Structure 1
Amino acid sequence: MSVDLTAIHWIYIVFIVLIIGFMILRRDTTIICIVGIFLIALTATGSITASISGVFTSFIYAITELLAIILVISLIVSMSKSLMATGINDVMISPFAKLIKTPSLAYWTIGIVMMLISLFFWPSPAVALMGAVLLPVAIRVGLPAIGAAIAMNLFGHGIALSGDYIIQGAPKIAADGAGIPVNDVLHASIPLVIIMGLVTTITAFYFLKRDMKNGKLKVNNHFDVPLETEKKEVTQLTPFFKRLFALLIPIFFILDIVAMVAFHLQGGDATALVGGTSILILLLITFAGYKNKALEQTTKYLIEGLQFGFKVFGPVIPIAAFFYLGDAGFQSMIGDYLPKTSHGIVNDLGAALANLVPVTKEVGAITATGVGIITGLDGSGFSGLSLVGSVAKLFSHGIESSIATLTSLGQIMAIWVGGGTLVPWALIPAAAICGVDPFELARRNLKPVIIGMVVTTIVAMFLL
């Protein structure tokens, strides 16, 4: 697979390094991303006006891609505010409060339940369900909001999505790229998914407990602002109706799960169902609790939810716009300026890496990991899976019996990075529901995920 890297590719690499560096230094990356988009557009078009327009167009593209996530998060927050204001939330979480007594139990309970739900419906709708029910309980027993977000993220977008054993979207794409049956990839991925999951979640839990003990993390954080400090309003909702809604709301979400199974709703369709259910619940609560003031209260909660959603997503749009340039977004943002042989900047870089290394088991495992990481940087995790399979196929001549292991290794790395636990806009659903900074969540995930990647890659070498 011959790949010609152009100046556009090299500029992209330089700015990836700069963005990662600034994130590590806890500095904002907005200006870096905008400059990167401008320079890539200028290099591609040779026109200053087209480059300036390209920055604006890239923002439009990013907002369009993220709009569904922004909207469903906003609706969940709107519904949550109505629950807090009417006191329904207190009644709804009381049974869970009796079961979850400690921060540690909250972390593992949220994580395991999140993983199980995500296996069937993918993480985005699962995050919404978790946020509505278990998150307030976790906060009340002393788990910081960032801890709940880490659990949702690592177990859902990490373990469940990287294995994808039920829906099988990720392994199917990777297997097709490698030219092998999807069952081979599924079986080969089991030990790797287990190792990656155990190492990352246990390591993240250790760091979380350490920082809680040292006082670096406290419970009264950003989550308390949009939700927990919402004052109880004078409503016409009787204790009976509070208990009724506390029972109906979980039933509505359970019916969502049943509908997802019955009608094979996945991804965006499943998320839309959860979002629509949140609107329905909001309407029922406002009409039952506010009677003739329901019209105004509904609008009030929707506005507050949308304000919160766009406030959280605002810093993410520039960095999302930059990384979307690495995949299908390039043509929409800037135009058809890449070489005809190009499969997108990110995929080109992954293929170039594969061509630079020799064919051995050890190098094969490291390369599969590297290609998976690079292709995951576009924030999708799925776009580079065909390349991951193709790279595994390239190495199959020297280590033929291990093609399935290489494919599954690359798949796991791509999903963990871009699906995702490290790319800020990929982990926005968990961050937004918990009311924490997505960049801070990415920084929190960085060490555990890197440690997990190293250990998993070493284990893969022995399995090849």
Structure 2
Amino acid sequence: MGIDLLTIHWIYLIFILLIIVFMICKKDTSLICILGIFVLGVVGTSDFSVAVMGVFNSFVFATEELMGTILIISVITGMSNILLISGINETMIYPFTKIIRTPSLAYWIIGILMMILSWFFWPSPAVALMGAVLLPIALKVGLPRIGVAMAMNLFGHGIALASDLIIQGAPKITADAAGIPVSDVVSASIPLNIVMGVVTTITAFYFLRKDMKNGTLFEEERAVEDIEDKDCIEKNKYKFSKGTRIFFAIVIPLFFAADIVIMYIKKLQGGDATALIGGTACFVLVMISVLTYREKGLEKITSHLIEGFQFGFKIFGAVIPIAAFFYLGDAAFGQIFGEVLPANSQGIVNDIGIALAKAVPINQGVAAITLTTVGAITGLDGSGFSGISLAGSIAKLFSMALGSGIATLTALGQIAAIWVGGGTIVPWAVIPVAAICGIDAFELARRNMKPVLIGLIVTTIVGMFLI
């Protein structure tokens, strides 16, 4: 390799380390990513203006790659808003309230229901619904607020978001960074997510019950007041009749169940599966908006779409700069800055992986521990998504050295990043759940810490044998 190519590789590695350090220090990484793109451009092209343009063009490239994910989350959020206002969401949940009779049932039912809803709607829209409907019932049967929050948090922002089986937003990002199909990441993540979910939720439940028996936690038997949200007045104004709500509470899940059947029959995965879910969500949003607002329906459809887009771009605003940087490790470098790398180069990440394979003895244990650690570190910014591109890139690098295991390593990094940063350990990421349940966010993060760490350790060990 020539000196310029070696310099590019070292610059790429140095900025990866800087990104990790900034994340550990809980600092925003956007500036480092922008500087990294610019420096790579200057060194690679020796042209200041091209490097400046490369920063913007890399953002465009990353946005194009992530656009499908951003849009599906935006559309589903918009749909969830109208379902909440019309009262359909509440009716969809109501049957489960009849079987919650004990604190243990409350914990597991709330958790499992949160997981199912989060697979289809993502955790954020599901939090308000679950809290408003099931929190008072859980308190009546003796499950403390912290127990409700832990169940919602671990099952929703943990299991559902880390696996993301339906929307497949997280697997898409990590798969792109690793350069493998989304289906490979999804398949590899299933056994790891099962281990992580089972170990974490059972451990959390054990500690919760132990503290309840010891009197550390006091059971709250009083019912809480209705949880208010910004749409409270609008919800009361536009809420459907009971019969209409029951009808749509049955029909809408059937729509998405039909999507799952179609996915299975036609073997749709990745972008095609996301498009099917997104299109269905669009039609549901349109249909319910027209029926809810009647003569104002046309304007309200746009209003809910805008709300969804605002949410989607707010979530991914932190992801685009870091994704833009890590995409340069593969084919994006040539598309952004031209064919400046030598013909024998297989991309920055691949080149580093080949060199690493020749220079450093890496085994399955070291690789698995490293991916879990890197994933957890990248989650410290509280996003969970901003660092999974890094996890995918490092998984690709390590798999080059090992000769196998790229899908498992990618899934392992994804799981660690989202469990930590997606909203179970980082205090500023658990605020929505804590606010809905009326508890301190730091207390919820502290309670989650031990079960999640135990889960990550066990999952990492299992991952070693699957690589």
Q: Partner letter of residue 159 of structure 2? A: F
Alignment of 1:201-216 (within 5 A): none
The aligned counterpart of 1:19 is: 19
Structure 1 residue 24: Cα displacement? 2.3
Cα 1:27–1:374 change in 2 (3 A) is: closer
Aligned partner of 1:415 among 377, 398, 411: 411
2:318 aligned with 1:315: yes
User: Are 2:357 and 2:400, in contact at CA under 8 Å, matched by a contact in 1?
Assistant: no
The aligned counterpart of 2:7 is: 7
Structure 1 residue 459: Cα displacement? 6.2
TM-score by length of 1: 0.68
Determine what percentage of the aligned residue pairs are the same residue: 40
Q: Partner letter of residue 126 of structure 1? A: W
Q: Partner letter of residue 151 of structure 1? A: F
Using the alignment, how far apart are the partners of 2:80 and 2:390 within structure 1? Answer: 28
Q: 3-state SS of the aligned residue for 1:28?
A: coil
Alignment of 1:425-440 (within 5 A): none
Cα 1:292–1:24 change in 2 (3 A) is: same
The aligned counterpart of 1:398 is: none
How many residues are treated as equivalent by the alignment?
A: 403
The aligned counterpart of 1:266 is: 269
Alignment of 1:140-289 (within 5 A): 140-141=134-135, 142=145, 148=152, 150-152=154-156, 154-156=158-160, 158=162, 198=198, 231-232=234-235, 234-235=237-238, 237-289=240-292
Aligned partner of 1:345 among 343, 348, 358: 348
Coordinate RMSD, CA, aligned: 5.1
TM-score by length of 2: 0.67
Using the alignment, how far apart are the partners of 2:23 and 2:151 within structure 1? Answer: 20
Q: 3-state SS of the aligned residue for 1:327?
A: coil
User: Are 1:372 and 1:414, in contact at CA under 8 Å, matched by a contact in 2?
Assistant: no
Cα 1:78–1:366 change in 2 (3 A) is: same
Q: Partner letter of residue 64 of structure 1? A: E
Structure 1 residue 12: Cα displacement? 1.8
Q: Partner letter of residue 414 of structure 1? A: T
User: Are 1:84 and 1:230, in contact at CA under 8 Å, matched by a contact in 2?
Assistant: no
Q: 3-state SS of the aligned residue for 2:112?
A: helix
Cα 1:462–1:413 change in 2 (3 A) is: closer
2:133 aligned with 1:137: no
Q: 3-state SS of the aligned residue for 2:238?
A: coil
Structure 1 residue 75: Cα displacement? 1.0
Cα 1:47–1:78 change in 2 (3 A) is: same
Using the alignment, how far apart are the partners of 1:454 and 1:463 within structure 2? Answer: 15
2:337 aligned with 1:334: yes
The aligned counterpart of 2:213 is: none
Structure 1 residue 132: Cα displacement? 6.7
Using the alignment, how far apart are the partners of 1:82 and 1:95 within structure 2? Answer: 20
Using the alignment, how far apart are the partners of 1:435 and 1:259 within structure 2? Answer: 37
The aligned counterpart of 1:80 is: 80
Unaligned runs of 5+ in 1: 115-124, 177-181, 215-219, 394-406
Q: Deviations over 1:249-306 (max 9, x none)?
A: 1111111111111221111111111111111111221222222221122122112222
The aligned counterpart of 2:384 is: none
The aligned counterpart of 2:94 is: 94
Alignment of 1:51-70 (within 5 A): 51-70=51-70
Q: Deviations over 1:139-182 (max 9, x none)?
A: 64357779746534543565687xx9xx9xx99xx9x9xxxxx9
Using the alignment, how far apart are the partners of 2:203 and 2:10 within structure 1? Answer: 34
Using the alignment, how far apart are the partners of 1:45 and 1:411 within structure 2? Answer: 33
Aligned partner of 1:379 among 389, 396, 411: 389
Unaligned runs of 5+ in 2: 136-144, 211-215, 218-223, 379-386, 434-440
